[in-house]
């Protein structure tokens, strides 16, 4: 049993009855357990967080994302098996949480997961990354990935800023970590900032830090992400989502190589290599006055492109098996391979979410699989048997295809419905009519 001074702090957010029953067991294992509501969670400090996901959390996921982003630790989701089977919820959990547990609890597995999450959180706080994590390995033998590896080996030793461009889920952070690991800064911190995940009113303090008393609630000095990366690499993901005033502050830092914390007057010199990434058209954003042209040229000294998964011919099965092996080890679940029907279904799928979507589907497949193999249905994909059994009248077939087309185009263009309608070759009013017809919000 650990004493109070060395107890690992676990915060349970919005606990349920099952969670309360788990608390005495965890305390005996050396965890200092606290609980609170989601609204109060950011005021509590913890080493690891566990949150019981309820309908209100799914309706307002930004509140959960803000908690995970600002707490800078690892979080574990608790939910029902039925919730996990729902497409968007499964993807949300797999993308934002270190791991998840379905009720009722398997106490032994909970303790293993908490221990692994605690180790990951310690690595995160020290600026380190585990070598075995799947996102830190550039796997594949397709021509795009071979050319990418060759390019990165040339760019890594330089000090120049790099702009990484590619669709969401294509591994832009992996590229940034590879550049860092192959540079002379490899033993210094790698700090990643997702500019799209931080609420706009918090971005300045997250990047530049603040002094005690800088604003209401600032009880002590906090080091910003830029300062935390001193000597190493700062990765600014989704740079196109930075507000214009923060773009001006970032440009000033790139010019002066120094920062001032909020509420402070001291100029602090910082030595970092900047790597930025975007999935949006920055040139178009410049024309629309949403992105500073001078900042663009500061960031776009060297450029790297990441290929979508649909263009990485031959890499799909390799990556799927890699993720299946990794997640079976991470979660302690029995390793499974893929059925022939699942492999065929993966080959037919267009993978709009790219490698991230593949990793999430495989992770869910490992949880949902009941037999010896992962089936297409476990991955949320239609296998040949499903397609045959689901065929009905021609009108029903057309209706399913119509709905699938709407879902596919919304996956890629949910932020611009005019573009989505144009891609489908229909007018915007027709597009809205079809959304209403198929009850897609």
pLDDT tens-digit profile of 141-163?
888 999 999 999 999 999 999 99
pLDDT band of residue 171 (cuts 50, 70, 90) is very high
Decide if 58 contacts 92 (C-beta within 8 A): yes
* pLDDT tens-digit series, residues 303-361: 999 999 999 988 999 999 999 988 887 666 677 899 999 999 999 899 998 999 999 89
The pLDDT assigned to 149 comes to: 93
| CATH tag, 391-437 | 1.10.10
| pLDDT over 70, % of the chain | 91
**What does the pLDDT average to over 71-88?**
85
Model confidence at 220, in pLDDT bands (50, 70, 90)? confident
Q: If you average pLDDT over every residue of the chain, what do you get? A: 86
- Residue 120: asked if its preceding bond is cis (omega within 30°), the reply is no
Overall pTM > 0.75: no
Give the residue extent of every domain in the chain.
8-125, 134-307, 330-385, 391-437
pLDDT for residue 4 is more than 80? no
Domain 8-125 shares a fold with domain 134-307? yes
CATH 3.40.50.2300 fits 8-125, yes or no: yes
Main-chain dihedrals φ then ψ at residue 269, nearest 5 degrees: -70, 135
Choose which CATH entry (3.20.20.70, 3.40.50.720, 3.40.50.11060, 3.40.50.300) describes domain 134-307: 3.40.50.300
CATH 3.40.50.1470 for domain 330-385: no
Q: Render pLDDT for 28-47 as a digit per residue (tens, 0 to 9).
A: 988 999 999 998 898 888 99
């Amino acid at each position: 049993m650990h004493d109070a001074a060395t107890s690992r702090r676990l915060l349970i957010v919005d606990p349920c009855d099952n969670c309360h029953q788990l608390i005495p067991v965890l305390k005996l294992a050396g965890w200092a357990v606290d609980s609170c509501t989601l609204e109060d969670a950011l005021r509590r400090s913890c080493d690891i967080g566990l949150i019981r996901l309820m309908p209100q959390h799914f309706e307002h996921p930004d509140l959960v994302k803000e908690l995970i982003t600002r707490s800078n630790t690892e979080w574990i989701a608790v939910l029902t098996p039925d919730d996990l089977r729902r497409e968007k919820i499964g993807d949300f959990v797999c993308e934002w949480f270190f791991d998840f547990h379905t009720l009722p609890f398997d106490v032994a597995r909970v303790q293993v997961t908490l221990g692994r999450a605690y180790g990951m959180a310690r690595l995160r706080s020290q600026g380190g990354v585990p070598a075995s994590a799947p996102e830190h390995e550039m796997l594949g033998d397709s021509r795009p990935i071979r050319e990418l590896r060759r390019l990165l080996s040339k760019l890594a030793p330089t000090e120049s800023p790099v702009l990484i461009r590619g669709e969401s889920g294509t591994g832009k952070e992996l590229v940034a970590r590879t550049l860092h690991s192959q540079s002379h800064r490899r033993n210094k911190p790698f700090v990643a900032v997702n500019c799209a995940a931080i609420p706009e009113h918090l971005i300045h303090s997250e990047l530049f830090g603040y002094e005690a008393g800088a604003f209401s609630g600032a009880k002590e000095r906090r080091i910003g992400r830029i300062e935390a990366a001193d000597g190493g690499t700062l990765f600014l993901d989704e740079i196109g989502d930075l507000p214009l005033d923060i773009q001006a502050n970032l440009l000033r830092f790139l010019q002066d190589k120094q920062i001032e914390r909020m509420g402070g007057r001291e100029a602090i010199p910082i030595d970092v290599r900047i790597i930025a990434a975007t999935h949006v058209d920055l040139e178009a954003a410049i024309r629309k006055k949403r992105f500073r042209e001078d900042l663009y040229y500061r960031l776009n000294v060297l450029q790297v492109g990441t290929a979508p998964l649909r263009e990485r011919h031959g890499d799909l099965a390799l990556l799927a098996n890699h993720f299946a092996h990794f997640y079976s080890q991470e979660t302690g679940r029995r390793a499974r391979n893929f059925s022939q029907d699942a492999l065929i279904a993966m080959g037919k799928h267009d993978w709009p979410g790219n490698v991230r979507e593949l990793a999430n589907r495989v992770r869910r497949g490992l949880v949902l699989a009941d037999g010896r193999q992962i089936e297409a249905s476990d991955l949320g994909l239609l296998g040949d048997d499903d397609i045959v059994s689901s065929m009905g009248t021609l009108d029903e077939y057309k209706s399913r295809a119509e709905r699938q087309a709407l879902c596919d185009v919304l996956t890629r263009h949910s932020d611009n419905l005019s573009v989505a309608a144009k891609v489908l070759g229909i007018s915007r009013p027709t597009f809205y009519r079809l959304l209403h017809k198929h009850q897609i919000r």
